[in-house]
């Protein structure tokens, strides 16, 4: 789907670079048809050297010659980036990764009836194990969303959502890796407390978390049902679960998502 498309990555920073690398490694794009931009010429040079792509500090030049314009600048840099390509983008699909920046804001910044798709990826995209939520703007049609799905599908899973859910997505799968690291680290500490070497404990629980996540995704069973299968009556697991309930783990995790969602809305200038 992307093979015959020219891709401009405006803002080839951490996420921009991840996208370039993942798409090239997955063979989804032709490196000769990728052009990266950044604010500093050193950043552009580094990407050109590392990936054999083209590069420029001129957003307008990059966007004019592209079919798909991926914008991956910080939210506060978005207005300036949009101004730099205004008028140069008409038929191109614009895909944004900027946290909290609405399709409405991007559409107004670009003018015309530009198709815009907003996305929210997360850091495991680095290992092609990411989760990206995708929301269509006013002028984005099914085929535009399909292009975004192909881009982020090269870095993991994708899910199309209504844009009104994007703050919740930010608070769940965007912040989620950090929440999971805390849970993982705490469980490993439990292993250490019980005498396991730290490295062993961390490996045991990291693979367990990966396996549990795959069980949910691949069996499509409700997590509670999968939990019940592990929980033998009067066995060990039920004693551990009781401690989790007493410690308020569920409530703490639910509140973490609520707070992170509210903060995402606040940062985007919306009422949570
Ligand atoms: N990192 C993640 O995992 C992640 C996950 C979800 C969403 N996001 C969102 O994705 C966006 C990028 O995040 P990031 O972590 O990759 O940030 P970053 O590392 O700071 O990258 C931003 C890049 O934009 C470039 N830039 C700044 N102003 C520009 C302009 N006017 N024109 C062209 N390039 C410009 C910067 O160039 P220089 O390097 O030369 O300064 C930098 O390379 C943010 O909006 C963030 O909220 C990131």
List per-residue pLDDT tens for the chain, 272 residues long: 788 999 999 999 999 999 999 999 999 999 999 999 999 999 999 999 999 999 999 999 999 989 999 999 999 999 999 999 999 998 899 999 999 999 999 999 998 799 999 999 999 999 999 999 999 999 999 999 999 999 999 999 999 999 999 999 999 999 999 999 999 999 999 999 999 999 999 999 999 999 999 999 999 999 999 999 999 999 999 999 999 999 999 999 999 999 999 999 998 887 76
Q: Which mutation among 10, 12, 15 tests ligand 1's pocket best, with the greatest number of atoms within 8 A of CB? A: 15
**Fold topology of 174-267:** ProC C-terminal domain-like fold (1.10.3730)
Closest ligand 1 atom to the C-alpha of 123?
Answer: 3
Q: Say yes or no: CB of residue 173 within 6 Å of ligand 1.
A: no
Give 259 Cα–ligand 1 centroid separation in angstroms: 24
Give the residue whose CA is nearest to atom 3 of ligand 1.
123
Whether 100 lines ligand 1, by a CB cut-off of 6 Å, is: no
- Nearest atom (ligand 1) to Cα of 40: 40
CA–centroid distance, residue 126 to ligand 1 (Å): 15
From the CA of 17, give the closest atom in ligand 1: 16
Confirm if 135 and 103 have CB atoms less than 8 A apart. Answer: yes
Residue span(s) of the chain under CATH 1.10.3730.10 come to 174-267
What tokens does 248 get? Answer: 């308020």
What is Dmax (Cα atoms) for the chain? 68
Indicate which atom in ligand 1 lies nearest the CA of residue 125: 3
Question: Residues of CATH 3.40.50.720 domain(s) within the chain?
Answer: 7-166
Does the beta carbon of 86 lie inside 6 Å of ligand 1? no
Residue whose entry in the numeric block shows the structure tokens 């769940």: 172
Does the Cβ of 57 fall within 6 Å of ligand 1? no
pLDDT digits (tens, 9 = 90+) for 198-241: 999 999 999 999 999 999 999 999 999 999 999 999 999 999 99
CATH topology of domain 7-166: Rossmann fold (3.40.50)
Burial of 143 per CB tally in 10 Å (0-12, 13-18, 19+): exposed
Q: Does residue 162 contact residue 135 with C-beta atoms inside 8 Å?
A: yes
pTM: 0.94
The residue contributing the CA closest to ligand 1 atom 1 is 15
DSSP letter string, 30-62:
-GGGEEEE-SSHHHHHHHHHHH--EEES-HHHH
Q: Are 60 and 82 in contact (CB under 8 A)?
A: no
């Amino acid at each position: 789907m992307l093979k015959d498309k020219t891709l401009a990555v405006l803002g080839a920073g951490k996420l921009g670079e991840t996208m370039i690398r993942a798409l090239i490694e997955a063979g989804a794009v032709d490196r000769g048809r990728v052009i990266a931009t950044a604010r500093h010429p050193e950043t552009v040079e580094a990407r050109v050297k590392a990936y054999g792509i083209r590069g420029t500090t001129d957003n307008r030049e990059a966007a004019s010659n592209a079919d798909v314009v991926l914008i991956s600048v910080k939210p506060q840099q978005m207005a300036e980036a949009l101004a730099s390509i205004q008028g140069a983008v008409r038929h191109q699909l614009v895909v944004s990764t900027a946290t909290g920046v609405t399709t409405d804001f991007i559409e107004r910044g670009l003018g015309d009836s530009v198709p815009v798709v907003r996305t929210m990826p997360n850091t495991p995209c680095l290992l092609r194990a990411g989760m990206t939520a995708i929301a269509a703007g006013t002028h984005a049609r099914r085929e535009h969303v399909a292009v975004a799905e192909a881009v982020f599908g090269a870095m993991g899973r994708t899910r199309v959502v209504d844009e009104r859910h994007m703050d919740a997505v930010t608070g769940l799968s965007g912040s989620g890796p950090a929440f999971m690291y805390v849970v993982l680290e705490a469980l490993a500490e439990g292993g250490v407390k019980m005498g396991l070497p730290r490295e062993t404990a961390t490996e045991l629980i990291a693979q367990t978390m990966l396996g549990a996540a795959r069980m949910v995704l691949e069996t499509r069973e409700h997590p509670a049902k999968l939990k019940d299968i592990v929980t033998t009556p009067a066995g060990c697991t039920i004693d551990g679960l009781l401690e989790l309930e007493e410690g308020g783990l569920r409530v703490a995790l639910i509140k973490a998502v609520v707070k992170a969602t509210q903060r995402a809305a606040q940062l985007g200038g919306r009422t949570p």
